[in-house]
């Protein structure tokens, strides 16, 4: 049965300022949802709230994942349930290779609380060579050079390389629902196509995607099942890809002048 992430009447404040004001949204494993909206509408707030960033205070409403109250869990426990966040601005970690970072994350994710019983996972948790074989498979799928894994995490990376690294993490950790926070931000067209192609290769029945973006351009390459327009902390309209195209042509002001459809 597909996993389901559900947000009901979600209210979130940052420094006593209410950002999300009653958001409702359901994302199922296997679906691609795009959240669009103007700057300050609450898009990134939604992603960080789902993953449990302490800066974002839930004042009302619920977030559940397969019926489990996510709000009662620490960020690492949420990750172990199958949630993943790709950052808009990935951090640099000096002296830690991409391989070592991913091996540590993989072992932590698979080894505690309902640890994976897959023999392949069991071997990869204890053997660097076994994990390297898994990582090589993922890099081959995404058409990444193997030397990428030997570099220090995001240190000296271009904007496109940082986003590619986030996608490699997604591929390696195999979550059920991935939150991609403005993955297209700051990318030139070539880097955008590489990242979008990687998302498409990973998408399927085992992965649900909540793609947060300010612009429609990434949706030319990643085809969403649903598009939601977030304005002033609430979803004011939902539809298909044609909705994103209309917003691209007419602007977000067009949406606010029309009747909302809710989330």
Number of domains in the chain: 2
Going by C-beta distance under 8 Å and a sequence separation of 6 or more, which residues neighbour residue 184?
163, 192, 195, 196, 213, 215, 217, 218
Residue 141 and residue 212 in one domain: no
Using alpha carbons only, what angle is made at residue 178 by residues 174 and 181, rounded to the nearest 5 degrees?
135
Residue 20 and residue 148 in one domain: no
Q: How far is CA 178 from CA 32, 129, 137, 203, in A?
A: 10, 27, 20, 10
Cα separation, 134 vs 80, whole angstroms: 19
**pTM more than 0.85:** yes
Q: How far is CA 233 from CA 24, 69, 156, in A?
A: 10, 22, 35
Residue 83 and residue 180 in one domain: yes
Three-state DSSP class for 83?
A: strand
Residue 104 and residue 218 in one domain: no
pLDDT digits (tens, 9 = 90+) for 134-174: 999 999 998 889 999 999 999 999 888 898 999 999 999 99
| CATH code, domain carrying 31 | 3.40.50.300
Average pLDDT, the chain: 89
Which of the four pLDDT bands, split at 50, 70 and 90, describes residue 126? low
Domain that holds residue 105: 93-153
Residue 19 and residue 88 in one domain: yes
């Amino acid at each position: 049965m597909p996993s389901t992430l559900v947000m009901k009447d979600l209210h979130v404040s940052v420094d006593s300022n209410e950002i999300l004001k009653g958001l409702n949204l359901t994302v199922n494993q296997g679906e691609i949802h795009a959240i669009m909206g103007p700057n300050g509408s609450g898009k990134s707030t939604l992603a960080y709230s789902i993953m449990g960033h302490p800066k974002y205070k839930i004042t009302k409403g619920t977030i559940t994942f397969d019926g489990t109250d996510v709000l009662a869990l620490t960020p690492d426990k949420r990750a172990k349930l199958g949630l993943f966040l790709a950052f808009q601005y990935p951090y640099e970690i000096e002296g830690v290779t991409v391989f070592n970072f991913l091996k540590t994350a993989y072992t932590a994710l698979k080894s505690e609380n309902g640890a994976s019983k897959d023999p392949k996972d069991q071997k990869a948790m204890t053997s660097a060579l076994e994990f390297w074989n898994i990582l090589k498979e993922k890099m081959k799928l995404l058409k990444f050079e193997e030397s990428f894994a030997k570099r220090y995490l995001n240190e000296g990376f271009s904007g496109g390389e940082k986003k590619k690294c986030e996608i490699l993490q997604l591929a390696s950790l195999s979550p059920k629902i991935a939150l991609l926070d403005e993955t297209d931000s700051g990318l030139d067209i070539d880097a955008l196509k590489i990242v979008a192609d990687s998302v498409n290769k990973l998408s399927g029945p085992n992965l649900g995607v909540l793609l947060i973006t300010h612009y429609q351009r990434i949706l030319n390459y990643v085809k969403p099942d649903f598009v939601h327009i977030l304005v002033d902390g609430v979803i004011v309209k939902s539809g298909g890809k044609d909705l994103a195209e209309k917003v691209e042509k007419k602007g977000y002001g067009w949406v606010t002048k029309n009747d909302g459809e809710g989330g």
